[in-house]
């Protein structure tokens, strides 16, 4: 048995007993017992406390804990569960279960329960509602993957709906779950498939275990157990159990625990994490006294500010049984997976009514105790409910009823409970913010990222039940669910004012929290209503209308809430609360729309609902305060009765949901057949139209007055309310409905009366009614006039909207399709937009659809994005004619932008700039009389008045907007008349007669002319140039209409060609004039441009803001500059050589540079003023071939030999901007001072770290941390003619070294004697070369040296350290190497393709490196040279020389060349130049590199026949290889193919040669050969000749055979070589493959899936909340969480930051998978987010995964990120991002 193998894992005391235990025997004993439950309980009572919860594990390590858990798990299985399995199955469990599964005919439901973060898919075409989701597997096998789908990540819980025919309109089954013939018929009882005895045993086992679990989980006593479970012997062992709540923060809990149970911070964090995750955790184990003491400390410490943390001291046996109860529930869940029959049995057992009658089944007990249980327990039983009841179609229904019955009580418990809803049985949506704050930000937040996203992934049960249409219908009919939910909701909002309306005063956090809870009910209501019924039963009608009654009660409580009164004189003292009311309105918006949709499907219901709503409204009106004075108004010969009411003085509220619902229903009625056939049957007449319009009108007037600035003293609260009133989230059920209500009212009233009431409410009546209304009085003060002007504009706009807004089906004769299309046209008229912007601008319905996709392609064309930016939609030109300047959803800003854009477009097309009203669609019959507003007397009077005012150019009594609106109204009237004429057969049925009316002269006493006459006189008014085109259009229309009228009346076809001719000449004239104007504009522009460029020439620091170029622009411009004038790159036809005595001397020219700070020119001279280049030095692992190597210890690291794995390098970059050293110092001091002052004022960071020497380049704001001094050549530009042989040079150098060595050994004062014996002639060890540089340059040399030293080693500056020069050489070599790699991989030529700034940087860096030895003590540099040389020419007196496999040869070359100068400086003999030495060093290093490559090459023998015989090169290669084999023997494999060897050697050595060419090019300023200025083949030869090398490199070895043989022998004999080759340590092979970022999958969901199965490595299999992928090495990390914090340099940092220190030397690139966001971090304090390389089909990224469109990898963008990394540009990007966005600076990046 299994127990035998695992005995050592069990606690030894129990061992023998456990070994003898037989599950089979126990089961048969139970079976024989008369009272099964007693037997089982007895067994549990005996074993459970002995197996589980035996106190804290003895070891404290997590491994120990894990072992302990495994032990428990095993014992549980063997001793407790195995007997139950035997009992249930009657046979060996493994085979029994297998048999069950085999016989099971599963239902076609998938039912996969989602993990947190797992991807879920919904089909936007086929899903019944957005809560229907598929798991990834089902999705991939379904038809929907070809449809428009949406992808989200699950919040955990919830299950896959595959196989549920109700959830999908089409394709309910995936490939795997398609029912086959053999699958069970859904009606069949699966229990019948099981053997009878098993059924019987099943019932008894399940009921015992389920009851046991329910009893234990709902058990409330702390040290007693239920009957029959008391342990045989009771010990004094207790747990101090800490419970979770949503009140205390992590920090509070951690702090308290440290105090109470005396644990370390680390343990406390671990406790707190577990409490947060599982809902409870024991924090102490021991006797009662011991635990009680901890409890009292915790309670005492947390009770001060709020209610104390919940702590219980529980007996260990109670805890053990609760623990086993959970295991038992999981076990049940597993067992029923094997058989649908067993599942049904469990369902029956669970729902069986208990002895207490109603609501007493075990499931009821669990549900009703839900709020009392801890999180871990809830999770497990919710899972079981999902696996059992919700997976069984029959019992799902019964459970649903039970759930609905308990609904009210559950919700009430939930309100009082302070746990998250996710784990509550009523849970609805994952509550991201545990304490929702009711702030403005939160609303904003809702607006932009709104919690809908979570709806897919909802974990809770109501979503599983209520969204199933058949279940929802049933629950509505049988359990009156709709009413229940609404009543429960209303009950919980208890704060009311005197009129019974909701009153939301300032909320405390606690209240806000509750309010947040209450809102979840709205979510449930939404689920119930989400799908409209296709068929209505009488019963459903009844219950729906009953629900509507309850809903109207709710709306009545909202009608008129939060009223405002205009504040005069003083500013408001305290901003009134407004967010709560708007949150409620926002949440209800979809519900209100859905209720209307329901009504629209049944005429009877609709009419009934209309009646009810009308009733409710009259009820509201009756409660309006009386005492409004009746008045009568007279204007233009009409008279109307109304009452006195002024928005500016009385109370007004923006919340009118009852009116608005009625408006919605009115529109629906208008769509019905009844409306067109029997309008008298409609219940219209019960409320008078003036009352209908009253409240919406007040609200609109309020908005107008706010715009006019009349409510300034009422503060932001009101401004916010007005904002949301018009906002896309609210407007459908607010602003839009108010306009509709005005339309409805106006269509039922005399238009003159309607307009007079409007005028009166706008408080403008006196202006238009006064006797001389056409001459506005001017005596009033200026503010008042301005106010009135705005009000008149707003009022005219409102009239335009009332007549013109006909794109709601029911108002106008349109389809919903047209409405969306019109919105899109108007959005795109402002500017081209991205898909997401359009989606945001359109209202969503309850299914999160905007209808955008259906129409977008008909009106717009799509433009794909480039490497940056996003795809944009552009309006097709044919739709421009639908543009309406007074579109009701435009804000004033939108309107003016759209106007500008449209006028510009028209000018570009050579058209006139009139923007006349578009042709509106016809009205529905119920709204038909609206058009009369356009031609009624009052409107004509208003038009006349405004036109009359406009005659006078100045005065400020009218505005152009006013005039423009009037012209628009006139235009609309003319269009209407034209339309009617076109549609009519004869003149008689045309009721519209505007053209006639406008010829009437103005009313007495005004003597001015008719409207038409006024228009004609205005046409040529010079001050109305802008409106000229529109007036011309109007007059043309008038002419056209007259013609039409004449034509129809005379019925003869009159040709109107004459008119057309006239028109044309007018047009030509217009055109000519426009052309003249355009020309003038062009000249003006050119003048301005010239001025601008003049100004730009004078850029200096003061106006650097102008100069904020992005990185790329900068690069582009500088590289362009490089192309134009490559300073030292003139290629020549001569064979160029860059090293050695034959090197071609670069034309020595004076180098003149300009300081960017003072603009002075300066020559670069050794003795001159120092000039510096802004530079940034950073550690780099970009080239690393070994990311596992630990960072070196800064104190004792010896950097002299770079390992070929290049695991850590120092990179230097520069923006190429040059300054005087003194100018820079002054600038940097100013920066420091500013920083000090800033720090005194406020805490926080800047984007750069001044203390670490960082600053921004004063010109381009590029992040810098040091400066490189510009240096001229130090050594003679003329190479000496003598070139000693290699042998001689080596010999002399040895002598020199010997002399140096003996000199070093002596005291310095002894050396005064002169030449050492044995030293070569002319070599003076005591010579002190003259320092070639001025003191200011020397100072800068030290500055840069120290920066490199500091950054490279992470140490404090120390000028005495011997390593200083080495680090400078190192950054020179590393920077060249990394640039060589970039050029290679981007297939750019080696020379001439670098941007200027890199070219300048390399050049100054190389020159600097070659001169830096002058600042260091000579002996130091000599010692370095001696050691470096000894690596190649072994020297017994030098110790610890690494073997050649552990040396990067390019670094060695650079170091030895640069350090040689110091030796050479002592040689006064002039017998050989420094160039000869360089060449010999190059030869020597090259040979060593060849050997290195041969040693590490792995030739796979391919046996290619080489017919052509071997070339000399191949022969030599083989010879060398065989020499090596002679030394090393079988460590090297045998290779016969010389061709292959030769090939791999050439490939391996190429990067070295290229880097060397770059190095010597910059060192000696030699022009490169023409061949190397272009990319492509043929480089080898030129490269070799440029380096003065034979093109057959092996000749180097061959020609110096005798000298080199012994060296090679000694290299190979180094013990390190053999060790490395035999597998100790990493072998680096050449050429080193360039590092790339990891491969990413094409489909983003693959990543999500990968991340969802990633568990936190620290907290035992827990899901990570923010899985984050390192793009450099591919590690997945658990970011942004307490569990994975580690200490780096004495500070706790998150997983990402910690990872950067091992993977990227402090710099990292990550992909935050859940957020779809790239994260860059540098060091502990800097970071930024970067757009991810994943795009949706609309060319947009989805940062935060809010939209859910499928995302695919955009390779170009990923390559761009990769390039940034390889160019070492990440730190710079972070700098720029932080500079541009200060909020980034405040983020605690180190916690990510
Ligand atoms: Zn599935
Ligand atoms: Zn499936
Ligand atoms: Zn589909
Ligand atoms: Zn200067
Ligand atoms: Zn710069
Ligand atoms: Zn973790
Ligand atoms: Zn990594």
Q: Which ligand is nearest to the CA of 170?
A: 3
Per cent of the chain over pLDDT 90 is: 26
Closest CA to 897 of 844, 839, 833: 833
Distance 1170 CA to ligand 4 centre (A): 10
Distance 140 CA to ligand 2 centre (A): 9
- 633: β partners: 640
Mean pLDDT check: name the lowest of 268-272, 690-694, 742-746, 1426-1430: 268-272
Residue 1691 has pLDDT above 90, yes or no: no
Q: Which ligand is nearest to the CA of 174?
A: 2
- The pLDDT of residue 1629 is 87
Token code pair at residue 958: 């009218």
Distance 451 CA to ligand 3 centre (A): 24
Distance 1791 CA to ligand 6 centre (A): 12
Distance 1403 CA to ligand 1 centre (A): 62
Distance 1704 CA to ligand 7 centre (A): 7
Please state the separation of Cα 1032 from the chain's center in Å. 51
| Residues, beta carbon < 5 Å, ion ligand 4 | 1155, 1157-1158, 1220, 1223
d(CA 898, CA 890) in angstroms, rounded, equals 9
Distance 171 CA to ligand 1 centre (A): 13
Of residues 1530 and 1649, which shows the higher confidence score?
A: 1649
Q: What integer is the mean pLDDT of 1659-1667?
A: 73
Distance 129 CA to ligand 1 centre (A): 17
Of residues 1456 and 1627, which shows the higher confidence score?
A: 1456
Q: What integer is the mean pLDDT of 855-882?
A: 89
Burial of 746 per CB tally in 10 Å (0-12, 13-18, 19+): buried
Q: Which ligand is nearest to the CA of 1680?
A: 6
Q: What integer is the mean pLDDT of 935-947?
A: 89
Taking all residues of the chain, what is their mean pLDDT, rounded to a whole number?
81
Distance 1714 CA to ligand 1 centre (A): 21
- The pLDDT of residue 181 is 63
**Which of the given ranges, 956-960, 1546-1550, 1784-1788, has the highest pLDDT on average?**
1546-1550
Q: What integer is the mean pLDDT of 1404-1420?
A: 86
d(CA 1345, CA 1026) in angstroms, rounded, equals 67
Distance 113 CA to ligand 2 centre (A): 12
Q: Which ligand is nearest to the CA of 135?
A: 1
pLDDT category at 246 given cuts 50, 70, 90 is low
- The pTM of the full predicted model, rounded to 2 decimals, is 0.78
Residue 848 has pLDDT above 80, yes or no: no
Mean pLDDT check: name the lowest of 293-297, 571-575, 823-827, 1049-1053: 1049-1053
Pairing between strand 638-643 and 1691-1693? Answer: unpaired
Q: Which ligand is nearest to the CA of 108?
A: 2
Q: pLDDT tens digits, residue range 1241-1276?
A: 655 556 777 888 889 888 888 889 999 999 886 555
Q: pLDDT tens digits, residue range 1183-1239?
A: 999 888 777 788 888 889 999 999 899 999 999 899 999 999 999 998 888 888 876
CB 1351 within 8 A of CB 1178: yes
Q: Which ligand is nearest to the CA of 1259?
A: 5
- The pLDDT of residue 919 is 92
Of residues 1719 and 14, which shows the higher confidence score?
A: 1719
Q: Which ligand is nearest to the CA of 1161?
A: 4
Q: Which ligand is nearest to the CA of 1776?
A: 5
- The pLDDT of residue 1003 is 58
Token code pair at residue 1424: 């370095």
- The pLDDT of residue 1147 is 55
Residue 1174 has pLDDT above 90, yes or no: yes
d(CA 923, CA 1730) in angstroms, rounded, equals 50
Q: pLDDT tens digits, residue range 1275-1302?
A: 555 555 567 888 888 888 888 888 888 8
Distance 1247 CA to ligand 6 centre (A): 29
d(CA 742, CA 366) in angstroms, rounded, equals 53
Q: What integer is the mean pLDDT of 547-553?
A: 94
Per cent of the chain over pLDDT 70 is: 83
Residue 1353 has pLDDT above 70, yes or no: yes
CB 64 within 8 A of CB 58: yes
pLDDT category at 1097 given cuts 50, 70, 90 is very low
Residue 548 has pLDDT above 90, yes or no: yes
Residue 1758 has pLDDT above 90, yes or no: yes
Residue 44 has pLDDT above 70, yes or no: yes
**Which of the given ranges, 167-171, 1365-1369, 1459-1463, has the highest pLDDT on average?**
1365-1369
Residue 1469 has pLDDT above 90, yes or no: no
Of residues 381 and 897, which shows the higher confidence score?
A: 897
Q: What integer is the mean pLDDT of 700-727?
A: 91
Mean pLDDT check: name the lowest of 5-14, 121-130, 910-919, 1191-1200: 5-14
Q: Which ligand is nearest to the CA of 113?
A: 1
Cα-based distances in Å from 1115 to 378, 1120, 1122 = 58, 8, 10
- The pLDDT of residue 897 is 94
Residues with Cβ within 8 Å of residue 1217, at least 6 apart in sequence = 1156, 1173, 1174, 1257, 1258, 1259, 1260, 1262
Of residues 456 and 1353, which shows the higher confidence score?
A: 1353
Distance 1260 CA to ligand 4 centre (A): 16
Q: pLDDT tens digits, residue range 1695-1747?
A: 899 999 888 888 999 999 988 899 999 988 889 999 999 999 899 998 888 88
Distance 532 CA to ligand 2 centre (A): 26
Distance 118 CA to ligand 7 centre (A): 23
Is the omega angle on the peptide bond into residue 246 within 30 degrees of 0, that is, cis? Answer: no
- The pLDDT of residue 1111 is 39
CB 120 within 8 A of CB 154: yes
Distance 380 CA to ligand 2 centre (A): 24
Distance 275 CA to ligand 6 centre (A): 15
Closest CA to 1442 of 1490, 1488, 1478, 1487: 1488
Of residues 182 and 1689, which shows the higher confidence score?
A: 1689
Q: pLDDT tens digits, residue range 675-686?
A: 767 766 676 666
Distance 976 CA to ligand 5 centre (A): 64
Q: Which ligand is nearest to the CA of 1264?
A: 5
Q: What integer is the mean pLDDT of 691-710?
A: 93
Closest CA to 1461 of 1471, 1474, 1452, 1472: 1474
Distance 141 CA to ligand 2 centre (A): 7
Distance 1651 CA to ligand 1 centre (A): 18
Residue 1092 has pLDDT above 50, yes or no: no
Closest CA to 1632 of 1524, 1550, 1741, 1747: 1550
- The pLDDT of residue 1280 is 57
Distance 845 CA to ligand 3 centre (A): 19
Q: What integer is the mean pLDDT of 1004-1031?
A: 79
d(CA 469, CA 453) in angstroms, rounded, equals 22
Q: Which ligand is nearest to the CA of 1224?
A: 4
Distance 1627 CA to ligand 7 centre (A): 21
Closest CA to 958 of 949, 968, 970, 969: 949
Q: pLDDT tens digits, residue range 1775-1787?
A: 888 888 777 777 7
Distance 1698 CA to ligand 7 centre (A): 10
Residue 1117 has pLDDT above 50, yes or no: no
Mean pLDDT check: name the lowest of 227-236, 542-551, 1698-1707: 227-236
Residue 173 has pLDDT above 60, yes or no: yes
Distance 488 CA to ligand 6 centre (A): 40
Q: Which ligand is nearest to the CA of 1674?
A: 7
Distance 1576 CA to ligand 5 centre (A): 33
d(CA 412, CA 1202) in angstroms, rounded, equals 70
CB 826 within 8 A of CB 884: yes
Pairing between strand 630-635 and 872-875? Answer: unpaired
- The pLDDT of residue 1095 is 45
Three-state secondary-structure class, residue 1160: coil
Distance 1276 CA to ligand 3 centre (A): 78
Q: What integer is the mean pLDDT of 105-123?
A: 80
Q: At what angle do helices 1111-1124 and 1770-1780 cross, to 10 degrees?
A: 120
Q: Which ligand is nearest to the CA of 1155?
A: 4
Q: Which ligand is nearest to the CA of 169?
A: 3
Distance 505 CA to ligand 2 centre (A): 50
Distance 1676 CA to ligand 2 centre (A): 29
Q: What integer is the mean pLDDT of 620-626?
A: 66
Distance 1786 CA to ligand 3 centre (A): 44
Burial of 1557 per CB tally in 10 Å (0-12, 13-18, 19+): buried
Residue 798 has pLDDT above 80, yes or no: yes
| Residues, beta carbon < 5 Å, ion ligand 2 | 110, 138, 162, 174, 177
Q: What integer is the mean pLDDT of 148-160?
A: 80
d(CA 256, CA 1180) in angstroms, rounded, equals 43
- Count Cβ atoms below 10 Å from residue 1154 Cβ, excluding itself: 14
CA end-to-end distance (rounded Å), the chain: 48
Residues with Cβ within 8 Å of residue 1742, at least 6 apart in sequence = 1716, 1734, 1736, 1748, 1749, 1751
- The pLDDT of residue 63 is 67
pLDDT category at 1005 given cuts 50, 70, 90 is very low
Distance 1742 CA to ligand 3 centre (A): 22
Closest CA to 530 of 847, 285, 224: 847
- The pLDDT of residue 1241 is 63
Q: Which ligand is nearest to the CA of 1171?
A: 4
Three-state secondary-structure class, residue 1694: coil
Q: What string of DSSP letters covers 783-796?
A: HHHHHHHHHHHHHH
CB 428 within 8 A of CB 462: yes
- The pLDDT of residue 1114 is 41
Residue 421 has pLDDT above 60, yes or no: no
pLDDT category at 1557 given cuts 50, 70, 90 is very high
Residues with Cβ within 8 Å of residue 923, at least 6 apart in sequence = 806, 811, 812, 813, 930, 931
Mean pLDDT check: name the lowest of 466-470, 1003-1007, 1124-1128, 1196-1200: 1124-1128
SS3 content of the chain, % helix, strand, coil (to 5): 55, 10, 35
pLDDT category at 3 given cuts 50, 70, 90 is very low
What is the enclosing helix (H) or strand (E) of 1337? helix 1335-1353
Q: Which ligand is nearest to the CA of 1160?
A: 4
What is the enclosing helix (H) or strand (E) of 118? strand 116-123
- Kindly state the DSSP code that residue 953 receives in the 8-state scheme: S
């Amino acid at each position: 048995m299994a127990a035998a193998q695992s005995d050592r894992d069990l606690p030894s005391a129990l061992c023998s007993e456990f070994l003898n235990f037989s599950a089979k025997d126990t089961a048969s004993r139970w079976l024989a017992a008369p009272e099964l439950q007693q037997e089982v309980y007895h067994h549990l009572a005996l074993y459970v406390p002995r197996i589980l919860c035996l106190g804290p594990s003895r070891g404290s390590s997590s491994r120990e804990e894990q072992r302990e858990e495994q032990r428990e798990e095993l014992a549980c299985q063997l001793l407790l569960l195995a007997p139950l399995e035997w009992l249930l199955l009657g046979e060996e469990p493994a085979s029994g279960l297998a048999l069950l599964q085999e016989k099971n005919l599963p239902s076609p439901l998938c039912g996969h329960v989602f993990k947190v973060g797992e991807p879920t898919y919904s089909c936007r075409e086929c899903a019944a509602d957005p809560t229907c989701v598929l798991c990834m597997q089902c999705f991939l096998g379904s038809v929907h993957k070809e449809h428009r789908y949406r992808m989200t990540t699950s919040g955990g819980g919830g299950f896959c709906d595959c196989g549920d025919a109700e959830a999908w309109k089409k394709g309910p089954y995936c490939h795997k779950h398609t029912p086959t013939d053999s699958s069970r018929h859904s009606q069949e009882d699966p229990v019948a498939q099981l053997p009878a005895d098993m059924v019987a045993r099943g019932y008894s086992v399940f009921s015992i275990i389920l009851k046991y679990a329910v009893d234990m989980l709902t058990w409330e006593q702390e040290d007693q157990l239920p009957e029959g479970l008391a342990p045989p012997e009771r010990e004094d062992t207790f747990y101090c159990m800490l419970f979770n709540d949503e009140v205390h923060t992590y920090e509070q809990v951690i702090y308290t625990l440290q105090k109470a149970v005396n644990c370390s911070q680390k343990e406390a964090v671990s406790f707190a994490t577990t409490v947060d995750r599982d809902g409870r955790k024991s924090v102490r184990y021991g006797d009662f006294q011991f635990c009680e003491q901890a409890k009292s400390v915790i309670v005492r410490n947390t009770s001060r500010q709020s209610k104390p943390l919940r702590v219980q001291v529980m007996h260990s046996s109670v805890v053990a049984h609760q623990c086993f109860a959970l295991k038992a529930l999981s076990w049940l869940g597993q067992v029923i997976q094997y058989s649908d029959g067993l599942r049904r049995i469990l369902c029956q057992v669970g729902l069986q009514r208990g002895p207490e009658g109603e609501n007493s089944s075990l499931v009821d007990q669990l549900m009703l105790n839900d709020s009392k249980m801890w999180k871990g327990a809830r999770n497990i039983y919710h899972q079981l409910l999902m696996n059992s009841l919700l997976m069984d179609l029959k019992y799902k229904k019964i459970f649903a009823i039970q759930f609905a019955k308990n609904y009210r009580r559950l919700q009430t418990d939930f309100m009082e409970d302070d746990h998250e809803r996710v784990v509550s049985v009523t849970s609805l949506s994952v509550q991201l913010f545990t304490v929702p704050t009711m702030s403005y930000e939160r609303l904003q937040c809702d607006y932009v990222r709104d919690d809908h996203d979570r709806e897919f992934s909802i974990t809770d049960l109501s979503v599983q039940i209520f969204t199933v249409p058949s279940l929802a219908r049933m629950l509505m009919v049988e359990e009156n669910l709709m009413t229940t939910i609404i009543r429960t909701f209303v009950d919980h909002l208890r704060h009311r004012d005197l009129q019974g309306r909701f009153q939301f005063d300032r909320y405390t956090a606690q209240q806000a929290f509750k309010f947040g809870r209450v809102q979840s009910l709205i979510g449930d209501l939404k689920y119930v209503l989400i799908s409209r019924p296709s068929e209505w039963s009488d019963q459903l009608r009844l219950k729906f209308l009953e629900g509507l009654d309850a809903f109207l009660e709710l709306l009545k409580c909202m009608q008129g809430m939060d009223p405002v009164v205009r504040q005069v004189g003083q500013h408001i003292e305290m901003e009134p609360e407004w967010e709560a009311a708007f949150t409620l309105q926002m949440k209800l918006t979809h519900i209100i729309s859905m209720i209307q949709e329901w009504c629209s499907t049944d005429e009877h219901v609709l009419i009934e609902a209309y009646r009810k709503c009308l009733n409710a409204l009259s009820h509201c009106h009756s409660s309006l305060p009386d005492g409004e004075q009746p008045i009568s108004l007279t204007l233009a010969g009409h008279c109307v009765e109304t009452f006195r009411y002024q928005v500016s003085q009385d109370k007004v509220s923006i919340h009118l949901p009852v009116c608005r619902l009625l408006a919605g229903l009115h529109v629906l009625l208008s769509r019905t057949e009844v409306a067109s056939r029997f309008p008298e049957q409609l219940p219209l007449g019960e409320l008078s139209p003036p009352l209908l319009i009253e409240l919406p009108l007040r609200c609109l007037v309020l908005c107008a007055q706010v715009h006019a600035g009349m409510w300034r003293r009422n503060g932001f609260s009101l401004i916010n309310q007005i904002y949301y009133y018009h906002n896309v989230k609210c407007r459908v059920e607010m602003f839009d409905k108010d306009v509709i209500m005005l339309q409805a009212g106006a269509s039922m009233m005399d238009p003159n009366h309607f307009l007079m009431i409007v005028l009166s409410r706008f408080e403008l009546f006196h202006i238009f009614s006064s006797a001389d209304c056409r001459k506005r009085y001017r005596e009033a003060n200026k503010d008042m006039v301005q106010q009135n002007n705005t009000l008149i504009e707003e009022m005219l706009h409102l009239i335009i909207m009332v007549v013109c807004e006909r794109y709601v089906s029911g108002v106008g004769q349109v389809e919903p399709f047209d409405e969306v299309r019109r919105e899109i046209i108007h959005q795109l008229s402002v500017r081209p937009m991205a898909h997401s912007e359009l989606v945001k601008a359109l209202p969503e319905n309850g299914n999160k659809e905007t209808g955008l996709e259906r129409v977008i392609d008909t009106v717009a064309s799509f433009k794909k994005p480039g490497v940056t930016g996003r795809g944009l939609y552009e309006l097709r030109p044919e739709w421009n004619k639908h543009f309406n300047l007074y579109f009701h959803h435009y804000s004033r800003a939108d309107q003016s932008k759209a106007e500008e854009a449209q006028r510009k477009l028209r000018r570009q097309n050579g058209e006139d700039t009139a923007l006349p009203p578009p042709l509106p669609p016809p009205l529905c019959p119920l709204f038909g009389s609206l058009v009369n507003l356009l031609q009624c007397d009052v409107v004509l009077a208003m038009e006349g008045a405004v036109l009359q005012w406009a005659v006078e150019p100045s005065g400020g009594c009218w505005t152009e907007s006013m005039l423009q609106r009037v012209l628009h109204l006139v235009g609309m009237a003319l269009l209407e008349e034209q339309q009617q004429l076109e549609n009519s057969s004869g003149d008689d049925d045309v009721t519209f007669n505007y053209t006639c009316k406008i010829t009437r002269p103005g009313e007495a006493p005004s003597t001015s002319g008719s409207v038409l006459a006024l228009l004609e006189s205005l046409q040529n008014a010079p001050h109305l140039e802008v409106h000229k085109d529109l007036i011309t259009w109007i007059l043309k229309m008038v002419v056209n209409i007259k013609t039409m009228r004449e034509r129809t009346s005379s019925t003869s076809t009159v040709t109107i060609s004459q008119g057309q001719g006239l028109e044309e000449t007018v047009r030509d004239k217009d055109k000519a004039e426009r052309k003249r104007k355009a020309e003038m504009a062009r000249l003006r522009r050119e003048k301005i441009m010239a001025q601008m460029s003049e100004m730009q020439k004078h850029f200096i620091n003061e106006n650097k803001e102008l100069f904020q170029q992005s990185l790329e622009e900068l690069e582009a411009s500088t590289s362009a500059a490089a192309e134009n004038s490559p300073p030292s790159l003139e290629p020549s036809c001569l064979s160029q050589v860059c090293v050695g005595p034959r090197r071609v001397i670069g034309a020595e020219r004076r180098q003149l540079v300009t300081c960017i700070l003072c603009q002075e020119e300066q020559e670069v001279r050794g003795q001159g003023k120092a000039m510096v280049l802004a530079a940034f030095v950073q550690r780099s692992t970009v080239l690393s071939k070994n990311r596992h190597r630990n960072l070196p210890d800064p104190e004792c690291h010896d950097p002299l030999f770079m390992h070929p794995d290049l695991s850590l390098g120092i990179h230097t970059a520069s923006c190429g901007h040059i300054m005087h050293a003194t100018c820079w110092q002054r600038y940097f001091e100013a920066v420091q001072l500013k920083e000090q002052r800033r720090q005194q004022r406020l805490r926080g960071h800047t984007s750069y770290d001044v203390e670490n020497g960082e600053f921004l380049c004063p010109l381009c704001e590029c992040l810098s941390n040091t400066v490189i001094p510009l240096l001229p050549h130090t050594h003679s530009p003329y190479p000496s003619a003598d070139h000693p042989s290699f042998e001689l040079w080596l010999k002399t150098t040895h002598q020199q070294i010997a002399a140096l060595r003996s000199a070093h050994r002596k005291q310095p004062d002894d050396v005064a004697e002169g030449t050492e014996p044995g030293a070569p002639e002319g070599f003076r060890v005591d010579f002190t070369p003259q320092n070639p540089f001025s003191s200011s340059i020397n100072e800068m040399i030290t500055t840069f040296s120290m920066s490199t030293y500091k950054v490279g080693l992470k140490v404090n500056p120390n000028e005495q350290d011997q390593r200083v020069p080495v680090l400078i050489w190192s950054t020179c070599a590393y920077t060249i190497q990394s640039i060589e790699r970039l050029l290679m991989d981007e297939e750019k030529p080696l020379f001439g393709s670098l941007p200027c700034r890199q070219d300048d940087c390399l050049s100054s860096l190389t020159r600097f490196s070659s001169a830096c030895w002058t600042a260091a003590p000579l002996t130091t540099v000599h010692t370095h040279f001696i050691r470096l040389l000894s690596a190649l020419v072994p020297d017994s007196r030098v110790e610890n020389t690494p073997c050649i496999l552990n040396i990067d040869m390019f670094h060695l070359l650079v170091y030895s060349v640069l350090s040689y100068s110091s030796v050479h400086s002592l040689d006064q003999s002039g017998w050989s130049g420094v160039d000869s030495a360089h060449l010999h060093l190059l030869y020597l290093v090259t040979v060593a590199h060849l050997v290195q490559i041969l040693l590490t090459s792995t030739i796979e023998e391919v046996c290619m026949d080489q017919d052509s015989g071997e070339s000399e090169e191949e022969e030599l290669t083989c010879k060398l290889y065989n020499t090596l084999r002679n030394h090393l023997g079988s460590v090297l494999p045998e290779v016969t193919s010389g061709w292959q060897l030769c090939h791999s050697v050439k490939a391996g050595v190429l990067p070295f040669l290229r880097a060397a060419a770059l190095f010597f090019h910059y060192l000696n300023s030699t022009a490169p050969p023409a061949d190397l200025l272009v990319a492509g083949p043929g480089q080898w030869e030129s490269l070799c000749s440029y380096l003065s090398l034979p093109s057959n490199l092996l000749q180097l070895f061959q020609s110096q055979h005798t000298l080199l043989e012994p060296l090679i022998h000694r290299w190979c004999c180094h013990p390190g070589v053999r060790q490395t080759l035999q597998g100790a340590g990493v072998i680096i092979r050449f050429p080193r493959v360039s590092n790339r970022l990891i491969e990413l999958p094409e489909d983003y969901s693959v990543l999500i899936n990968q991340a969802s199965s990633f568990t936190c490595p620290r907290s035992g299999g827990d899901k990570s909340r923010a899985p984050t992928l390192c793009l450099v090495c591919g590690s997945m990390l658990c970011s942004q969480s307490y569990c994975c914090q580690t200490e780096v340099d004495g500070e706790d940092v998150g997983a990402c930051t910690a990872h950067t220190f091992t993977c990227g030397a402090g710099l990292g690139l990550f992909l935050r998978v859940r957020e779809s966001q790239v994260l860059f971090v540098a060091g502990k304090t800097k970071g930024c987010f970067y757009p991810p390389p994943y795009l949706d089909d609309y060319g947009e990224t989805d940062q935060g995964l809010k939209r859910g469109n499928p995302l695919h990898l955009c390779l170009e963008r990923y390559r761009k990120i990769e390039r940034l990394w390889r160019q070492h540009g990440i730190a710079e990007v972070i700098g720029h991002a932080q500079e541009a966005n200060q909020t980034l600076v405040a983020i605690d990046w180190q916690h990510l």
